Amino acid sequence: MRQVALEVLKERKAKILSAVIHHYIKTGKPVGSNVLIDEYNINLSPATVRNLMAELEEEEFLTHPHTSAGRIPTDKGYRAYVDTLVKLQKFAVEEEERIKAEYEQKHREIESVLSETSRILSGLSQYTGFVLAPKTQYNDISNIELLQITPDQVLVVLLTHTGMVKHRKIEASLRPQQLARLRNFLNDKLRGISLAEANGRIVSEIKNFKTNEEEIYKAAQKIGDILFDIQDDIYIDGASNVIAIPDFNDFEPVKSLIKLNEDKEKLIQIVNEDFTSNGINVKIGSENSLAELKDLSMVTTVYKDGDRAVGVLGIIGPKRMEYEKMMALVNAVSKILNGFFKKS
C-alpha cells in the first residue's frame, strides 16, 4: 500500500510541476494553487496542492520570487519537464510546407543555405537561430581554382564536397603555365581529402618544386597555410529578438547574445560540445558552460551528410520557452538540411 501511495504522490507532483511550467510559459506570471485547480483539472484540495508545491520547492524544482505566493520553475524544474516529454509536438502540415518552400527558393551554394537556415530558425522561433557550418575535418576538397587577379596577387577558390566555397588571396606572381601547373598539382594531390589533411599533404608533396620552380613552391606553401587556417564558421540570426521578451527587463541576456554575435568563437566552442550528441539536446540556464548563456536555454541537434554528422543547428531563447515546439522546429529543420546534403 505504501508503494502505491508513493507512486500516486510522484504522479501528483509531476502533474503539478507540468501545470506550473505550462502556465508560467504561457503567462510569465508566478502560479498559485487556485490557478492550477481552476484551469488544469487538478482534483485536489487547495491545501494539498499548496503542500505539494511546497515540497517541489524544497526539492528545488520550483521557487518563488520575493514575497509572491505563486511559484515559478527553476532550471531543475525545466529540466524535469523537458526530460518527461514523451514525444515532440508535430508541426501542422502547412508549417512543414512553409519551411520546405523557403529552401526551394534559395541558391544551392552552401553558405546561402546555412545563412537562410539560421534565418528560418530565428523567424519561426522568434528567438536566435544559428547553424554551425560543416566542420573542416569533414569537408573534402572537390576542386581548387587559381586566378591571377593582379600582377602580384592570386585568388584561390576552394570548393568542398558539401558545396562550401571559400575565397582567399595570396601574394604571388605566376606565369600562365606556372599557374596551370600548380592548379593541376593541387587538384591531383588534394581532391578527395579533408581540409584538415590538406596542409600536411601539400608540405609532403611540394618538395620537387623547390629546386626547379621556386615561385610555384612559395605559392604552394602559402596555399597550404591558408587551407590550414580555415576555421569553423557559424551563422547567427535574430540576436535582437530577445529584446521583445518581457523576462529580460535588465537587458543582460540581450547584451550577452549581441556579444556572442560579435565574438563567434565563444559560441562555436559551446556549440561544438553538442557535436557528438544524438537526437535533440536541450541546455537550460546554468546547464550551459558559457556564462553569457546562464539566463537562456539552447536547443540543438546535429545535421548530417549521409550518415556522418557534419554540423550543428539550433535556437537560443529564454528559459520560459515552449520546449515542445522549439524541439520540433529544430528537429524538422535538421531533417530538411539533411535532405539538402543528400541531394548535393
Does one domain contain both 266 and 290? yes
Of 203, 228, 253, the one marking the end of a domain is: 228
Residue pLDDT, tens place only, 160-214: 877 777 778 889 888 888 888 899 999 998 898 888 788 788 888 887 666 667 8
The answer on 289 and 246 residing in a single domain is: yes
Could you tell me if residue 264 is inside a domain? Answer: yes
Q: How many domains does the chain have?
A: 3
Give yes or no: residues 252 and 128 share one domain: yes
- 218 and 316 inside one domain: no
* Residue 286: alpha-carbon gap to chain centroid: 18
User: How far is residue 322's CA from residue 40's CA, in Å, rounded to a whole number?
Assistant: 17
Both 121 and 213 in a single domain?
A: no
CATH number for the domain spanning 192: value is: 3.30.390.60
From start to end of the chain, where are the E strands? 62-63, 72-73, 128-132, 141-150, 153-160, 165-171, 234-237, 281-284, 296-305, 308-318
Task: Write down which residue in 49, 83, 117 finishes a domain.
Answer: 83
The helix or strand, by DSSP H or E, that contains position 254, with its residue range, turns out to be helix 252-262
Domain of 298 in residue numbering reads as: 93-135+232-343
Is the domain of 120 the same as that of 143? no
Residues 25 and 106 in one domain: no
CATH number where 52 lies:
1.10.10.10
Could you tell me if residue 336 is inside a domain?
A: yes
253/212 same-domain check: no
Whether residues 127 and 64 fall in one domain: no
Residue 273 has pLDDT above 90, yes or no: no
Domain identity same for 236 and 311: yes
In a domain, 286, yes or no: yes
Residues 237 and 339 in one domain: yes
Whether residue 88 is contained in a domain is answered as: no
The pLDDT value given to residue 254: 65
**What's the average model confidence in pLDDT over 130-142?**
83
CATH number, residue 336: 3.30.450.40
d(CA 29, CA 36): 13
Check whether residue 276 and residue 242 sit in a common domain. yes
**pLDDT tens column, 309-341:** 888 999 998 888 999 999 999 999 999 998 887
Q: What is the spatial distance between Cα 78 and Cα 285, in angstroms, rounded to a whole number?
A: 9
Query: Does this model's pTM top 0.75?
Result: no
**What pLDDT band is residue 88 in, cutting at 50, 70 and 90?**
very low
Query: In this predicted model, what pLDDT tens digit does every residue of 228-258 receive, in sequence order?
Result: 777 778 898 887 766 656 665 555 666 677 7
Up-side HSE of residue 50: CA atoms within 13 Å toward CB?
Answer: 6
